[in-house]
Amino acid sequence: MRALVLLSAAALACALYAAPLAAQERTEGQKAETKTGDDAKRPKLKIEPGQRYLLLSTLKTSTMQKELDEATSEGFRVVTGSPTSTNEWAVLMERVAEPSAPYNYRLLATTKISTMRKELNEAAAEGYRLLPRTMTSKSGFLSVEVVMLVEKAPNSDRRYEYRLYATTSEKKMRAEIEKAESEGFTLAGMVSRGEHMVIMEREYGKGQNPSEIP
């Protein structure tokens, strides 16, 4: 009798333990399904056959990247980017290329300067170049992201490298710019978000590594 009671208690404990796990699995599965469903429900860009210009405007950087990919497959190229009066980010594009030889874009967005420096130079090593006119800051819930686009032109073998400097000191900023210029860099752009961040750029030849440039 005692053994039967113990077995019953053990079975009850297992059932109570398994119930929340099963509920958690169902919830996670529903979340994954919802996420997949949301992606599937996202409408394709409406592009007319003779349309020359296209305006993209989204809150999410991930959505912007997907729409950029769709637009470039139709021959569009980025003209400029801009923040809006809300938290949206807008990009204006013009149809200039053949879909068989599109321009490609990568959207970079981060709160950390070190991360932006790393991702920008990784993209540059693959043939992408910064589009300074797309540099902006985008306010989030608790932070401010730096957002920019890099562009890879079709059939281009040009390569670039970048240096990023961020400071609130005008004197220090000026010194960093002048030092980089003495090493062959030129000023590519600036974006502000409390501190001012400038990006310096220089080109290097095919077969060279950035470290080989004086």
- Tally of CA atoms within 13 A in the half-sphere of 52 that contains its CB: 0
Check if the beta carbon of residue 187 is closer than 8 Å to that of residue 200: yes
Per-residue confidence (pLDDT) for residue 42, from 0 to 100: 63
Could you report the per-residue pLDDT of 170-179, keeping only the tens digit for each? 999 999 999 9
Could you report the per-residue pLDDT of 98-122, keeping only the tens digit for each? 888 999 999 999 989 999 999 999 9
- Residue ranges per structural domain of the chain: 53-212
Distance, in Å, from the CA atom of 60 to the CA atom of 48, rounded to the nearest integer, reads 24
Could you report the per-residue pLDDT of 151-185, keeping only the tens digit for each? 999 988 889 999 999 999 999 999 999 999 999 99
More confident residue, 19 or 138: 138
Q: What is the pTM of this model?
A: 0.75
Q: How deeply is 36 buried, as exposed, middle or buried, from its count of CB atoms within 10 A (0-12, 13-18, 19+)? A: exposed
Could you report the per-residue pLDDT of 88-100, keeping only the tens digit for each? 889 999 999 888 8
Residue 74 has pLDDT above 80, yes or no: yes
Banded model confidence at residue 209, pLDDT cuts 50, 70, 90: low
